[in-house]
Amino acid sequence: MKEKKEHLIVTKNLIKNYKSDGMQVEAVRGVDLTIESGEFSAIVGPSGSGKTTFLNIISGLDKPTSGEVWLKGRLLTSLSGGELSDLRRDNIGFIFQAYNLIPVLTVEENIEYIMMLQGVSKEERHQRVLDILKQVELGGMEKRFPPKLSGGQQQRVAIARAMVSRPALILADEPTANLDSKTGTSLLQIMHDLNERTGMTFLFSTHDPMVMEWAKRIVKLKDGRIVDDDTKN
């Protein structure tokens, strides 16, 4: 019997409008989408298609103009600021194309920051950092500082930081944009293996064909609307 998947994210008639230079921009136009636990999926489309706006809304970083976003069974617009912050902290890991590492903190300090907010003990934080660094092939680099690492190594640290608190969902916004193809492929292999091994859900926002090749499901956005939703066999 096939195991029933949890509906991790559900959006219903999601709409986001904003003003830019006095003009009304319809960034997201009535998107209905369900992401189940364990997916390795990509939201794809050209610049301006609404990919990043959509990711910001489903993560609670931005509010929709109208419509509903449910994360792990909770309606985001019904939550207070503190409740939303806690839900995001405990359930979502973020990977950005610009890495967003703190340069004056060591690799270990960058990775353990979310666990500190969660109240994880110092001993457990340290052990989890060592374990996750081995998984992303950076064992022994916990005392290095980000400026001393290559771009690919910094992105591996960002992946480790996103995953170490064991969130239900990893949101990766153009994670390969600043990387050469060899490094990008290596990182996608790592994320794919972690998805297969842990069941952690990955959702990418990208227009990189390499990411699309790895994704098991591709949701295409155009002008803020879903125009195609294809799951590979």
**Is 189 inside any structural domain?**
yes
pLDDT digits (tens, 9 = 90+) for 197-214: 888 999 999 988 999 999
**Is 14 inside any structural domain?**
no
Q: Specify the pLDDT at position 22.
A: 85
Share of the chain above pLDDT 70, in %: 98
Total number of residues shown for the chain? 233
Cα 189 from Cα 181, distance rounded (Å)? 12
Q: Specify the pLDDT at position 87.
A: 92
**Is 15 inside any structural domain?**
no
**Is 1 inside any structural domain?**
no
Q: Specify the pLDDT at position 184.
A: 86
More confident residue, 156 or 108: 108
**Is 93 inside any structural domain?**
yes
pLDDT digits (tens, 9 = 90+) for 3-53: 556 899 999 999 999 988 888 889 999 999 999 999 999 999 988 899 989
Q: Specify the pLDDT at position 4.
A: 55
* Strand ranges for 45-159 from DSSP E: 66-71, 74-75, 92-96
Q: How many domains does the chain have?
A: 1
Cα 201 from Cα 223, distance rounded (Å)? 26
Give Cβ neighbours of residue 13 (< 8 Å, ≥ 6 apart).
30, 31, 32, 66, 67, 68
**Is 21 inside any structural domain?**
no
1 pLDDT higher than 70: no
pLDDT digits (tens, 9 = 90+) for 57-86: 999 999 999 999 999 999 999 999 999 999
**Is 73 inside any structural domain?**
no
Average pLDDT, the chain: 91
The mean per-residue pLDDT over the stretch 131-147 comes to 92
**Is 89 inside any structural domain?**
yes
CATH at residue 91: 3.40.50.300
Domain of residue 178 covers 38-63+80-231
Closest CA to 129 of 113, 147, 152: 113
230 pLDDT higher than 70: yes
Q: Specify the pLDDT at position 10.
A: 97
